[in-house]
Amino acid sequence: MLTVLAPVAATCQLMMALIIWRWTRLPGRRELAVSLIFGAAYFLYAAFPEALPCLLPVVLVAPLACNRAIRAGFESPLRPLWLESALLILLLASGLAARSGAPSWAGVVSSLLSLAFFLELPIIVWRGLPDDLVAARRNVRVWTLSLSAFVGAGVAVASVLGGAVWAVPAAAALTCLMIFAAVAFGGELADTLLASPRTASTPLDSREQQVLRRLREVIAEVYSDPALTLSTLARRLDVPEHRLRRAIHLGEGQRNFSVWLNGYRIAAVKARIDDDETILALALAAGYNSLSAFNRAFKAAEGVTPSAFRAARKANTKAITEPPADTPRAT
């Protein structure tokens, strides 16, 4: 049965990768497409391991690729590059060693790592929910991504316990069904996931417009609170969370609460970047709990680190205030 289901599942995943690649505004589309390609390689290798041994390295790193794709799709923080590289090397080394006759601990390490990457996915889904400002998209993500996460985790658990003989065909069948559903509702799904405020069918009502006005007044006072969340902000404004979500999404044109809040915090740091205070002091004053969290948020927003941004500002200021070396000086 696997020899029939695996090619079908692989073909479905490759088709879905092409569809996702065309959704140019979809967060994490590159990582999601790569993950689907790796998933296709997994099913093909599971069905034809002797004919396709070249796919083994791709299969071994597929759990890490899936984990990264879900993080990117949820606009959750990615792991530092050095940690991602270390995990990639460990996953490859232990997996290849286990299949080349190494001691049994190599196989255990490879299986446990794969299992950990999949079991972390529902946690990422759960943690990302409070920051998602679009109700329909939150529902879609819970059902589709959580189901995908549990399918992957089920295969990983079955592999550890020796039940992959039945788990892989079951996963292939479920994968086909999920992708068929996604393709059938592809247009609606794309609109929901992208969730552009410009295409909203229902604008803000009068009460939500009032919430938006109060929000713009209050956020300037509380953005630097390290413990600020959407829930605490809703309580401070004395409004239901769903109204506050819509006010920020449609009124401010944002899809993610943390990204929106980081905009205020980073703007405050940039306004004081020329001061003599350290980057850490500026980050803490803006509401960040650590320098690493601030560096990640700043680089995601500005494309450079805070230190590089400050250095560029100083270089520009110096170039403006100092005349060229060959300019004659007045006597």
Vertex 133, ends 24 and 227: CA angle to 5°? Answer: 120
Q: List pLDDT tens digits, range 83-93.
A: 999 999 999 99
User: Is 331 among the domain residues?
Assistant: no
Domain co-membership, 64 together with 98: yes
Which backbone phi and psi does 225 adopt, to 5 degrees? Answer: -75, 115
Domain co-membership, 21 together with 153: yes
Domain co-membership, 317 together with 273: yes
- Asked which of 194, 226, 250 is the last residue of a domain, the reply is 194
Domain co-membership, 16 together with 164: yes
User: Is 199 among the domain residues?
Assistant: no
> What DSSP designation does 77 have?
P
> What DSSP designation does 42 have?
H
22 backbone φψ class: left, alpha, beta (φ>0; ψ -120 to 50)? alpha
Mean pLDDT estimate for the chain:
81
User: Is 286 among the domain residues?
Assistant: yes
Residue 194 scores a pLDDT above 70: no
- Asked which of 130, 159, 194 is the last residue of a domain, the reply is 194
Domain that holds residue 279: 206-321
Q: Judge whether 177 and 5 are in contact, CB under 8 Å.
A: no
> What DSSP designation does 199 have?
G
Domain co-membership, 185 together with 217: no
Cα(209)–Cα(217) distance, integer angstroms: 13
Q: What is the CATH number of the domain that holds 302?
A: 1.10.10.60
User: Is 270 among the domain residues?
Assistant: yes
State mean pLDDT over 168-191: 63
pTM above 0.75, yes or no: no
Cα(90)–Cα(79) distance, integer angstroms: 15
Of 92-96, 176-180, 240-244, least confident by mean pLDDT is: 176-180
Domain co-membership, 37 together with 169: yes
Domain co-membership, 259 together with 121: no
Q: List pLDDT tens digits, range 134-177.
A: 766 677 666 665 666 566 656 665 555 554 556 667 667 667 76
Domain co-membership, 64 together with 176: yes
> What DSSP designation does 278 have?
-
- 32-36 long-range contacts, CB within 8 A, separation 24+: 32/69, 32/72, 32/73, 34/65, 34/69, 35/62, 35/65, 35/66, 35/68, 35/69
Cα(69)–Cα(53) distance, integer angstroms: 25
User: Is 328 among the domain residues?
Assistant: no
Domain co-membership, 189 together with 215: no
- For 323, the 3-state DSSP assignment is coil
User: Is 329 among the domain residues?
Assistant: no
Domain co-membership, 180 together with 218: no
Domain co-membership, 148 together with 255: no
User: Is 170 among the domain residues?
Assistant: yes
Question: Which residues are CB-contacts of 281 (< 8 A; sequence separation ≥ 6)?
Answer: none
Quote the number of domains for the chain: 2
Q: What single-letter amino acid sits at 62?
A: A
Cα(254)–Cα(197) distance, integer angstroms: 8
Confidence of residue 331 (pLDDT cuts 50, 70, 90): very low
Q: DSSP letters of 142-159?
A: HHHHHHHHHHHHHHHHHH
- Asked which of 130, 160, 194 is the last residue of a domain, the reply is 194
User: Is 89 among the domain residues?
Assistant: yes
Domain co-membership, 185 together with 220: no
State mean pLDDT over 208-235: 93
